[in-house]
Amino acid sequence: MSAKKLLTDISQNDILDRIYFQDVNNIPKIILSIATVRSGTTASLRVYSEVGIHSFAQPMKSIFRFLAKGKSNKDCDWLIPKEDVIYVKETLGPFNIEEATLNPIETLFYLFHNLLKNKVNTEHLTNETLALMKKKVHLIVMGRNPFDSWFSNKETYVKFMKGVKENEKWYYDVTLEELLYYHLIAFRQVQKVATFAEYLGIPISHYVAEANKEPVKAIGNLFTRIGINTKPSLSDWTRKSLVGGQNSKVKITIDHAPQKRAGLFEKVNLSNSIKYFEGKGVLLPQNEIQIIQSSGVTDIYKKWKANTERDLDINL
């Protein structure tokens, strides 16, 4: 079977068919973060869930992967709960071009569009969808230095593959060169998604990894900017925010089984507070450094960093 053909056969509607609202008359505010993999988004799940917000780990990408593997049951369907606010983190990449170019904002747009199409006159449908998006979605662009995130990506890939079952290795098996290519594509796609959200008029905030050096100020200001009227809990984390934990407010899917088997959630679950970790990008071989430098993603990251300083009123 051609993996490429299988992946490209998946449509936006295929994904939308597996997303449901618990109550179509009570749509929660969706705080959506997007990033490349290895950017600190998993720890962010604990930050939001510690203050009682239901948090979801890449539900849209999980649906895509599930369908890409040819599965048809409902194990990765996403039920959006009846809550005032939820947090969703979506990472782009790292295993193929389709993952790297997903557009979660576009998916939410059509989700809201389909929700309204039986309630609103056709001539007003687009404007009403945009109005609902502006009211109900806040995008957070999360990022990490591309050298550090790439070092972590390729290091984690080796560990991750130890948790992949033999019959699914075809999906995840990539060369180092392909993994780097998809990483850079995903980096650029995050910016494209942000530009698309800005075009739609959706509120946007930025949060790069260095902001975790001043988490009290950074996350406190982010909560205020988003409209979360509670003080963030940045230490003494509890079991209610364990990633994949029983009765946790952090929801993962069966798609995360390889990560669990490989122990990739152990570090974040053993932590009891938000932390800043120095990256190891300086240890990359020179050829990989040159590829990253020539790709243009360092300029994108500089923009995200400057926007983080502006949005959160901090100096990095």
Q: What is the DSSP letter of 28?
A: P
Question: Which pair of tokens denotes residue 171?
Answer: 């999906």
Task: Mark out the alpha helices in 93-212 (DSSP H runs).
Answer: 97-100, 104-116, 125-136, 146-161, 169-172, 176-200
d(CA 150, CA 135): 35
Question: Which pair of tokens denotes residue 219?
Answer: 């996350």
d(CA 236, CA 18): 36
d(CA 183, CA 200): 26
Tell me what pLDDT residue 203 has. 98
Tell me what pLDDT residue 7 has. 59
CATH number of the domain bearing residue 271: 3.40.50
Place of tokens 């008029």: 201
Q: Are strands 137-143 and 19-21 parallel, antiparallel or unpaired?
A: unpaired
Q: Buried b / exposed e across 225-244, counting CB within 10 Å, b at 16+? A: bbebeeebbbeebeeebbbb
Tell me what pLDDT residue 2 has. 36
Tell me what pLDDT residue 5 has. 39
Q: Are 123 and 214 in contact (CB under 8 A)?
A: no
The answer for residues whose C-beta is within 8 angstroms of residue 48's C-beta and 6 or more apart is 31, 55, 87
Domain of 75 in residue numbering reads as: 3-312
The helix/strand/coil state of 166 is: helix
Q: What is the DSSP letter of 1?
A: -
One digit per residue, the tens of pLDDT, for the chain of length 316 reads: 334 434 567 899 999 999 999 999 999 999 999 999 999 999 999 999 999 999 999 999 999 999 999 888 888 999 999 999 999 999 999 999 999 999 999 999 999 999 999 888 988 999 999 999 999 999 999 999 999 999 999 999 999 999 999 999 999 999 999 999 999 999 999 999 999 999 999 999 999 999 999 999 999 999 999 999 999 999 999 999 999 888 999 999 999 999 999 999 999 999 999 999 999 999 999 999 999 999 999 999 999 999 999 999 999 9
d(CA 102, CA 58): 11
Q: Are 90 and 29 in contact (CB under 8 A)?
A: no
Q: Are 150 and 94 in contact (CB under 8 A)?
A: no
The angle that helices 104-116 and 125-136 make with each other, rounded to 10 degrees, is: 120
Tell me what pLDDT residue 71 has. 87
Cα 111 to its chain centre, rounded Å, is 17
Q: How many domains does the chain have?
A: 1
pTM here is 0.95
The answer for residues whose C-beta is within 8 angstroms of residue 44's C-beta and 6 or more apart is 33, 87, 89, 142
